[in-house]
Amino acid sequence: MSYRHNDSGRLIDRSQTLTFTFDGKTFTGHPGDTLASALLAGDRMLVGRSFKYHRPRGIVASGVEEPNALVNMGHGNRMEPNQRATTTELFDGLTAVSQNRWPTLDSDIGAMNAAIARFLPAGFYYKTFLWPRAFWKNVYEPFIRQSAGLGRAPTEADPDSYEHFHVHTDVLVVGGGVAGLAAAKAAAATGLKVLVLEQTHYWGGRTPVDGGKIDGMPAQEWIDATVAELEAMRNVTLRTRTMGAGVYDHGYALGYERLTDHAPDAEGPRHRLWRIRARQIVTATGAIERPLAFAGNDVPGVMLASAMRDYLVNWGVVPGQRIVVATNNDDGYRTAIVLKKAGLDVLRILDAREAGGGALMQEARDLGLRIDCGRGIGKVSGGKRVKKVQICVTTGTGGAMEALDCDAVAMAGGWSPVVHLWSHCGGKLVWDDAQAHFRPDPAKAPTGADGLPFVTTAGSASGPMALGSVLQDGAAAGTRAAKAAGGKGRAPKVPVAEDVEEAAMLPVWQMPARAEYRLKSKSWLDFQNDVKVSDVELAAREGFESVEHTKRYTTLGMATDQGKLSNINGLAVLAGALQKPIPQVGTTTFRPPYTPISIGAIGGSARGDIFQPVRMTPMHAWHDVHGADWEPVGQWRRPYAYPQQGEKVEEAVQREVTNTRDNVGLLDASTLGKILVRGPDAGRFLDMLYTNMMSTLKVGRCRYGLMCSENGFLIDDGVVARVGEDAWLCHTTTGGADRIHAHMEEWLQTEWWDWKVHVANLTEQYAQIAVVGPKARQLLESLGGMDLSAETLPFMAWADGELGGIGVRVYRISFSGELSFEIAVRAGQGLALWEKLVEAGKAFGVMPYGTEALHIMRAEKGFIMIGDETDGTVIPQDLGLDWAISKKKTDYLGKRAQERSHMTDPTRWKLVGLETEDGSVLPDGAYAVGRGKNANGQLVTQGRVTSSYHSPTLGRGIAMGLVLHGPDRMGEVLEFPGTDDKVYRAKIVNPVFFDPEGAKQNV
């Protein structure tokens, strides 16, 4: 059993007791505990089930590298899956539930997966694609769906708040262990601004656990003194509970601060994302111990040796009573010594090295511990808890020499520097043969905007693991970074520590070296994703030579711990199987964030109403008061419809269309882009921009125009009015205003820089109101002020004047097929004019209409809509818009591209109208199927629906679509399978459904 030891635990406050629950059972702990240490203190070693085989899993590590102890924290709107118990600080009332088990952790039905493990080999998911198609629907898919995903996603909105911090600093130090503190001290001495981030809630890292003296004092004393010294400096900022999440180009870095996770009742934001710009970054990120790959290394009770001593020294927790230590290096002895000194029963130290270790081995021997050299673990057995260890010869095949009854195993496989932050932005690694790990190559550091290195590593993150070298390296890194950041002045004295002489370690990637398959298939590399030595070897046999491919094929290192434990072991096994040296196999890519960060922190305060700025027209508030059902269009909100009391939105839309066609409607068209193009070369410029001729337009007249990209594709449309001898006003779509303005600027600045033209985006300067319907003229005349007769203001003309005492410009243009006037007015007068129109319009039955009525009316007339009929692959010729393309012009943007063979291909789908046989509405986006199948065995397609509505005017469904040889197939019936398993039959017709002669608009 695991339990709380009497008199150790430097981080806990035994005078207070906290209560929490795990899987509904009540436990207790102390302030300073992690959830993991408190669970172990309560004899809860089994904490989860593995992802694939549902194997029982216990706590392996004591920090961020923990792969197994992932729990679901909290409930309701504060429920959060996949929280690491080892980095979760305990608080009173904490509730945690284990994951990936059913019905309970102790008796899990999914564990049968383990029984069929042979049928779930590496690449199982990919292999299923090769097997009979019928198996997919009935066998694989249900299986994969049921087992996919770790933890459950919360369903309610997060009630907590989050924020961003923007910070500039000269030197950023990531990691508050002794190396980070030494670096910070050295850098701060130059007077530069220094920011130090530490992911835990205490300083000094693991040095107080590992022991040693610094500058002649106990490590903890030196740490306290150094932190006090740094705290007193005005140029230094220290932050605990803040993880350095990522390093990016040009000295950008992200920090992730957890402010209230340990105190959920505290005020203020829960997490804070630090967005840091640093001149120099020091990564003092420490090192992580590697497990050993022996059979049964995942049985609960097998732990990293360093974690076992962490639990004892930091939290006074003992993981077992009869302990076996397996090591391939001297550091493993530290755990044995600490355990023995605490009075625990260390049964045996198994040292993989024939010659054993150095001074630490001697110390262990002097304490009376039994040490077997050249020995390792052949197998651990026990199911839900370690029961027995079989001892074998390290170099052998796994034949048991002796069995020991025990309940905990410490494994020490050597240390790997945490190189993540160094690597995020391009820092390269070098293989260190002596320590069998990849470490940063100082000659190949990430470089910044000046082309010079901006990241430097400190302490064990650089490679050296002994305290003295760690301090020396840390101080040197701080001095180096400060100098590179422009700091001057003498560096302080380098702290010194005496190092214990250590014997060389022996790389052990599989224990024993020549293990049989039955052992390899139980030797775990990636605990969370269930990847074993045998899986990586199988991948190599199946031809996966690249480490990146093997990773994806086996899912090695792809779990939430991102391979912090498993990576080096996994690629060493791969190298072995490929018979290549490890550095030649290389590592996978390290990507930020270092450990998972909350989505809330990434979003910060940008959520709900302040997610992004909302653009409002001058009439926005009026629409809101009058019941507008809003639709987002770009950053604008536009009324989709104005449902009245007791009316459904769809009913409102139909009413608005009918009223506009019968009486008169008002549309807020202010969001349409309005770009003024002016100058001696403006006409020439617009002739290049539009497919038709704009330079010949007369002052006072309007013309519809199409704009294409240089690739030939239609990008925008709208009405252009010539407002002066050298000035044109170009209307764009609502979403296109900024984009088209930028498009104009680009051509004017980069290609036709000598043309005398300037453009101004006036979109927000004017409100625009469309007055539409047979009674539109009567309504406007009732306001009085200008002559709007057909003779004075014919179709496609504009005039300046006054309406109801307000200065206006009236464009006689129509997007609905009705008699229609678009009235532009200075933005400040928009609401006043709108209200006058509403008031005066009562006599004519005026009603406002929204975007959906606008869409229906344009579709009834067969007018295209950018974004519906176009999708970035459609050219004007596809839409039958040849009439709007000038034949006289030698050039316009898109012209040459439209002459390319693919664009002139007669089999391009063309615009037609579509009418269902039964009057129903075709599903938007549905495809028309043809006869036969394509090369992939799918039904051949011959067209698709681009717009589809119920037309109140015609009392039936109408649609537009692009169809193969469409215009030549009038009257033919096409079949459109819907996603509702129905097949819709529709006839090809002319896309102009209503008033094809244009009689209604020409009055």
Partner 1 sequence: MQRFTCPFCGLRDEREFSFAGESGKTRPDTAAEVSDADWSAYLFTGTNPRGRTDEIWVHTPCQEYFRMIRDTVTMEVLETVPLRRDPS
Residue 162 Cβ, how far from partner 1 at the closest point, in Å? 20
Please report, for residues 571, 934, 979, the alpha-carbon distance to residue 945 in angstroms, rounded to integers and kept in the order given: 51, 20, 14
Q: Which of 252, 755, 795, 844 binds partner 1 (CB under 8 A)?
A: 252
Selected binder of partner 1 within 895, 908, 965, 987 (CB under 8 A): 895
Least distance in angstroms from the C-beta of 738 to partner 1? 10
Residues 6+ apart with CB under 8 A from 344: 318, 321, 323
CB of 248 to partner 1, least distance (A): 5
For partner 1, the binding residues in 142-161 under the rule CB under 8 A are: none
Beta strands in 727-858 (DSSP E): 727-732, 758-761, 766-772, 798-803, 806-811, 820-826, 846-848
State the minimum distance, in angstroms, from the CB of residue 745 to partner 1: 5
Question: Applying CB under 8 A, which part among 10-18, 235-243, 283-291, 895-903 lies near partner 1?
Answer: 895-903
- Name which of 240 and 711 has its Cβ closer to partner 1: 711
Position among 579, 612, 645, 901 found at the interface with partner 1 (CB under 8 A): 901
Q: Does 742 bind partner 1 (CB under 8 A)?
A: yes
| Residue 762 to residues 125, 160, 759, Cα–Cα distance (Å) | 56, 41, 9
Task: Please report whether residue 758 would count as binding partner 1 according to CB under 8 A.
Answer: no
Query: Is 760 one of the binding residues for partner 1 (CB under 8 A)?
Result: no
Q: Draw the binding track, 21-40, toward partner 1 (x: CB under 8 A; -: no contact).
A: --------------------
250 binds partner 1 (CB under 8 A): yes
Q: Which of 249, 800, 839, 882 is close enough to bind partner 1 by CB under 8 A?
A: 249
Contact present, 668 and 854 (Cβ < 8 Å): no
Residue 167 as a binder of partner 1 (CB under 8 A): the answer is no
248 or 795: whose CB is closer to partner 1?
A: 248
Stretch that binds partner 1, among 336-344, 390-398, 741-749, 958-966 (CB under 8 A): 741-749
From residue 407 to residue 426, the character string flagging contacts with partner 1 as x (rule: CB under 8 A) and all else as - is -------------------x
Report phi then psi at 921, rounded to 5: -95, 125
List 753, 883, 907, 937, residue binding partner 1 (CB under 8 A):
753
User: Is 549 near partner 1 (CB under 8 A)?
Assistant: no
Residue whose CB is less far from partner 1, 333 or 747: 747
Q: Which of 450, 787, 835, 839 binds partner 1 (CB under 8 A)?
A: 450
Q: Residue 635, interface with partner 1 (CB under 8 A)? A: no
Tokens of 19: 């209560």
Q: Kindly state the smallest distance separating residue 245's Cβ from partner 1, in Å.
A: 14
Helices (H) and strands (E) in the chain, counts: 26, 51
Would you say 824 and 768 are in contact if contact means Cβ atoms under 8 Å apart?
A: yes
Q: Does 612 bind partner 1 (CB under 8 A)?
A: no
> Of the ranges 148-156, 294-302, 504-512, 890-898, which one interacts with partner 1 (CB under 8 A)?
890-898
Q: Which stretch binds partner 1 (CB under 8 A): 264-272, 317-325, 444-452, 938-946?
A: 444-452
Helix axis angle, 547-554 relative to 567-578, nearest 10°? 110
CA atoms of 951 and 863, how far apart (whole Å): 14
C-beta atoms surrounding 878 within 10 Å: 20
Neighbours of 778 (CB within 10 A): 17
The values of phi and psi at residue 171, to 5°, are -125, 130
Minimum gap (Å) between residue 713 Cβ and partner 1: 11
Q: Give me the least distance between CB of 716 and partner 1, in Å please.
A: 18
User: Which DSSP string corresponds to 930-961?
Assistant: EEEE-TTSPEEEEEEEEEEEEETTTTEEEEEE
How many C-beta atoms surround the C-beta of residue 575 within 10 A?
20
The letter for the amino acid at 982 is: K
Nearer of residues 789 and 901 to partner 1, judged by Cβ: 901
Residues 460-519 that bind partner 1 (CB under 8 A): none
Beta carbons of 322 and 405 less than 8 angstroms apart: yes
Q: Indicate whether 746 belongs to the interface with partner 1 (CB under 8 A).
A: yes
Q: Nearest approach, Cβ of 722 to partner 1 (angstroms)?
A: 25
Identify the residue among 501, 751, 787, 968 touching partner 1 (CB under 8 A).
751
CB of 447 to partner 1, least distance (A): 4
d(CA 638, CA 631): 5
405: alpha, beta or left, given left = phi > 0 and alpha = psi -120 to 50?
beta
Total residues in contact with partner 1, by rule CB under 8 A: 28
Stretch that binds partner 1, among 204-212, 480-488, 878-886, 892-900 (CB under 8 A): 892-900
Among residues 26, 750, 907, 936, which is the contact residue for partner 1, using CB under 8 A?
750
CB of 603 to partner 1, least distance (A): 16
Please spell the DSSP secondary structure of 252-293, one letter per residue. EEEEEEESSTT-TTSSS-SEEEEEEEEEEEEE---EEEPP--
Residue pair 676/722 in contact (Cβ under 8 Å)? The answer is no
Binding to partner 1 (CB under 8 A) within 323-352 occurs at none
Among 26, 138, 584, 749, binds partner 1 (CB under 8 A): 749
Q: Per rule CB under 8 A, is residue 883 in the interface with partner 1? A: no
Under 8 Å between Cβ of 737 and 675: yes
Residues 699-718 touching partner 1, rule: CB under 8 A, are 710-711
Rounded Cα distance between 335 and 210, Å, is 9
Distance CA(551)–CA(585), nearest Å, equals: 12
Distance CA(474)–CA(178), nearest Å, equals 8
Nearer to partner 1, 426 or 967 (CB): 426
Q: Exactly one of 58, 123, 448, 495 binds partner 1 (CB under 8 A); which one?
A: 448
Task: Give least dist CB 428 to partner 1, A.
Answer: 12
Tell me how far, at minimum, the Cβ of 903 lies from partner 1, in Å: 11
Instruction: Please identify which residue in 900, 933, 983, 998 interacts with partner 1, judged by CB under 8 A.
Output: 900
Closer to partner 1 at the Cβ: 196 or 893? Answer: 893
Per-residue tokens: 572:
């060493």
Q: Considering only residues 42-61, where is the footprint of partner 1 by CB under 8 A? A: none
Long-range Cβ contacts of 924-933 (<8 Å, 24+ apart): 924/948, 926/976, 926/977, 926/978, 926/984, 927/976, 927/977, 928/961, 928/963, 928/974, 928/975, 928/976, 929/975, 929/976, 929/977, 930/964
Q: 920 vs 678, 948, 983, 989, 994, CA distance in Å? A: 49, 10, 12, 15, 18
- Report the C-alpha gap between 186 and 208 in whole angstroms: 21
CA 842/CA 846 separation, integer angstroms: 6
> Toward partner 1, which CB reaches closer, 112 or 742?
742
Q: Does 684 bind partner 1 (CB under 8 A)?
A: no
Q: How far apart are CA 841 and CA 667, in angstroms?
A: 13
The Cα 347–Cα 371 span in angstroms is 9
Which segment (114-122, 695-703, 748-756, 802-810) binds partner 1 by CB under 8 A? Answer: 748-756
Sole binder of partner 1 in the list 891, 905, 980, 981 (CB under 8 A): 891
| 695 belongs to the binding site for partner 1 (CB under 8 A) | no
CA 776: distance to chain centroid? 51
* 921 DSSP assignment: P
What is the footprint of partner 1 within residues 274-293 (CB under 8 A)?
A: 277
**Torsion angles phi and psi, residue 311, rounded to 5:** -60, -40
Which parts of this chain interact with partner 1 (CB under 8 A)? 248-250, 252, 277, 426, 446-451, 710-711, 742, 745-746, 749-751, 753, 890-891, 895-897, 900-901
